[in-house]
A = this chain, B = another copy of it.
Amino acid sequence: MTRPFNFSAGPANLPEEVLQQAASEMLDWHGSGMSVMEMSHRGKEFISICEQAEADFRELMAIPEDFSILFMQGGGLAENAIVPLNLSRGESADFVVSGSWSDKSQKEARKYCDVQIAASSEDSGYTSLAPAASWQLRPNARYVHICTNETINGVEFHELPDLKALGSNAPLVIDFSSHVASRPVDWSRVGLAFGGAQKNLGPAGVTLVVVRKDLLGHALPICPSAFNYKTVADNESMYNTPPTYAIYIAGLTFQWLKRQKEGQATGIAAIELRNQAKAQRLYDAIDHSSLYMNKVDKACRSRMNVPFLLRDESRNDAFLAGAKARGLLQLKGHKSVGGMRASIYNAMPMAGVEALVSYLQEFEKSHA
């Protein structure tokens, strides 16, 4: 069977090998006689799955031992409340607003603490990033929040800010939902990272939180126990019943990531090389066309989410219909931006990008 190429922004395509393994193990995981869905989360079978997933993610992402890895629920939108409930101490937090997601985050945080916008690129229509040197950081902020990849706007931080060099001792919080595991993370610059799994890691319903251990234990009294990072960490993500099947699929994806190779590179280094090549191929095709355009500054274009417009928007429907007919799915842009968006996460092969580029060129010629 030839599968179509699925450019959904999330939930998004998964590696075919992962889906095949999940299907083959559905009724009997490793001779246990149980589906993973049917296992007690406290039984040795599921504990082994969960521990392996955590160890693989730590290895893949080179996460130091002074960070806890938590499997939680509620996705990025829930974390927008859970982070200030755990880190703000009811005091203050600074936000860099670089698109729709960081804007949602700062609005939600206002329920729990004093929020300052340290920088915003709203004036550019979220097509650029304010240089870190220009950020207005408060010395007493309990944390500084950025969204390192804006799924809707197609803007990505290609380097994490060094807050210490900017004179701040606050921990950096990164929402890395839509590019997690697509590239390495410099953990020396991070206090906490969170991300829903449904872009690069697995099914919707599990959130990964990576938190420096010294930040645990300061939740507000109003923080629900199930969302208190220290409670979750002390119980190894089993305080409440975790989303067991979603963790299992994420674990299979981690093992797939570990198997990836590009030349001498393996794992995240390999997938990063592939992601760079895929993004370059697609942006080049857009930039060299007279029909398509991407408005984002080249310095901060996302490798994962590529929004683009047709200069003649009356052709949008014809474009989408032709794409679907060629097995190129879910290319419609987010309603707040319009036009098209190709999300090219880890599981999208270069062949999918090549097929999209061929279609872009063909459509442009036939509608010239």
Question: Which residues of A are in contact with B by a Cβ distance under 8 Å?
Answer: 1, 3-4, 6, 8-14, 16, 19-20, 22-24, 26-28, 33-35, 37-41, 43, 46, 73-78, 80-82, 85, 108, 111-112, 196, 198, 202-206, 221-222, 224-227, 239-246, 249, 327, 329-330
Contacts and interface: CB of A to CB of B under 8 A. Distances in A.
Contacts of A20: 26-27
Contacts of A329: 33-34
A241 B204 contact: yes
B3 A241 contact: no
Given A111-B222, A196-B241, A14 B37 contact: yes
Contacts of A34: 4, 6, 13, 329
15 contacts: A1-B28, A3-B28, A11-B241, A19-B35, A33-B329, A34-B329, A37-B204, A74-B227, A77-B240, A77-B241, A78-B224, A81-B227, A204-B242, A205-B245, A245-B249
A287 B112 CA distance: 55
A147 to B, nearest CB: 15
Given A3-B28, A22-B26, A81 B204 contact: no
From A41, A205, A206, A225, residue with most partner B Cβ within 10 Å = A205
Given A23-B26, A73-B75, 9 more contacts: A8-B40, A11-B41, A23-B27, A77-B226, A82-B224, A112-B222, A196-B241, A203-B243, A243-B246
A223 B245 CA distance: 28
Contacts of A4: 33-34
A37 B11 contact: yes
Contacts of A242: 204-205
Contacts of A33: 3-4, 6, 327, 329
A273 to B, nearest CB: 24
A40 B3 contact: no
Can you tell how many copies of this chain the complex includes?
2
A246 B245 CA distance: 8
Contact of A38 (B14, B39, B40, B82): B14
A9 B42 CA distance: 10
Contacts of A330: 40, 43
A186 to B, nearest CB: 27
B226 A75 contact: yes
A22 B24 CA distance: 11
Given A41-B204, A244-B204, A26 B35 contact: no
A13 B38 contact: yes
Q: 3 closest pairs, A vs B, by CB?
A: A205-B243, A81-B224, A77-B240
Contacts of A22: 26
B202 A37 contact: yes
Nearest to A231: B77
Nearest to A25: B23
A177 to B, nearest CB: 10
Nearest to A246: B205
Contacts of A85: 224
Contact of A8 (B12, B13, B43, B198): B43
Contact of A198 (B16, B76, B241): B241
Contact of A204 (B198, B222, B245): B245
Contacts of A43: 8, 330
Contacts of A204: 37, 41, 241-245
Contacts of A82: 224
Contacts of A222: 111-112, 222
